């Protein structure tokens, strides 16, 4: 069955260091993955996505790596800032027959940035 | 701020009350979604509407009743809820051919 899980519930990093948040998925047929950031009192915010035909995708200060062999995703945040403190979720997407898509989320990793 | 708004932001209701949650998207999308987010649990998909037709009901109890009158608006009608229904209810929208979903800020619901 499909499931998405995260390796660590909490990650603490020093300001300026790089952060790496990991995610495992179980459905080898999954084709599209998204990382979201959720700050306290807000809804999830899109960060970056990647399709299964790619191994790596870069955004502004963020990089997502996809290892299809071991069904593993990671989100790398460069030069972590206090504003990066949030819960980070990975999600895998499946297209629905009638339109739209279903996102299956992991439980999330709380990133804490220490000054 | 995202182009998806939700009202109210906070709601307290008794188990015998009837209330409605509202979601509006200003992104020109044609698919809308309801999710439930409980403490220490993954976001759970509840309902999916595509082109104003319901295409997914993820085994949600009938005390939750969705309505999508047009592609910009989505409602979640609530009646005779239970305390375990207390959670953050999130609305999202997307273009049907694009899988990225954009979320609203959520409605924090407390059922007493």
pLDDT mean by block of 10 residues, chain B; 112 residues: 89 93 96 92 92 87 95 96 96 91 97 94
Interchain CB contacts (distance < 8 Å): A and B: 78
Predicted local distance difference test score (pLDDT) of residue A107: 83
Predicted local distance difference test score (pLDDT) of residue A28: 83
Q: Do A96 and B55 touch (CB under 8 A)?
A: yes
pLDDT mean over A13-28 = 92
Predicted local distance difference test score (pLDDT) of residue A35: 97
Q: What would the 3-class secondary structure string for B76-90 be?
A: EEEECCCHHHCEEEE
| Chain B nearest C-alpha distance from A44 (Å) | 6
Structure tokens given for A44: 């999830």
Predicted local distance difference test score (pLDDT) of residue B1: 52
Predicted local distance difference test score (pLDDT) of residue A87: 95
pLDDT mean over A57-72 = 95
Q: Tell me the pLDDT tens digit for each residue of A2-14.
A: 345 544 589 999 9
The secondary element (H helix, E strand) that includes residue A24 is strand A19-25
Structure tokens given for B86: 């207390």
pLDDT mean over A42-68 = 96
Predicted local distance difference test score (pLDDT) of residue A1: 31
- Distance, CA of B109 to CA of A36 (rounded, Å): 22
Residue of A nearest to B108 (CA): A41
Residues from B contacting A (CB-CB < 8 Å) are 2, 4, 6, 30-31, 33, 40-43, 45, 48-51, 53, 55-56, 90, 92, 94, 96, 99-106
Hey, which of A74-88, A90-104, B49-63 has the most confident mean pLDDT?
A74-88
Predicted local distance difference test score (pLDDT) of residue A2: 35
- Distance, CA of B79 to CA of B30 (rounded, Å): 27
């Amino acid at each position: 069955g499909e499931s998405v899980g995260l390796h660590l519930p909490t990650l603490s990093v020093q300001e300026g260091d790089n952060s790496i948040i990991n995610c495992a998925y179980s459905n080898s047929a999954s084709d599209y993955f998204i990382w979201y950031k959720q700050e306290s009192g807000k809804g999830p915010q899109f960060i970056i996505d990647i399709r299964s035909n790619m191994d790596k995708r870069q955004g502004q200060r963020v990089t997502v790596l996809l290892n299809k062999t071991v069904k593993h995703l990671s989100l790398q945040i460069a030069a972590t800032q206090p504003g990066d403190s949030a819960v980070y979720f990975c999600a895998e997407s499946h297209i629905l027959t009638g339109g739209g898509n279903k996102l299956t989320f992991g439980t999330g990793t709380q990133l804490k940035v220490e000054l | 701020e995202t182009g998806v708004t939700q009202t109210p932001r906070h709601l307290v209701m008794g188990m015998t009350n009837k209330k409605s949650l509202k979601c509006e998207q200003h992104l020109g999308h044609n698919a809308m979604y309801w999710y439930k987010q409980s403490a220490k649990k993954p976001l759970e998909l509840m309902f999916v509407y595509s082109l104003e037709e319901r295409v997914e009901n993820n085994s949600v109890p009938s005390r939750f009743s969705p309505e999508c009158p047009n592609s910009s608006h989505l409602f979640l009608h609530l009646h005779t809820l239970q305390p375990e229904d207390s959670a953050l209810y999130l609305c999202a929208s997307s273009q049907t051919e694009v899988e990225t979903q954009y979320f609203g800020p959520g409605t924090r619901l407390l059922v007493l």
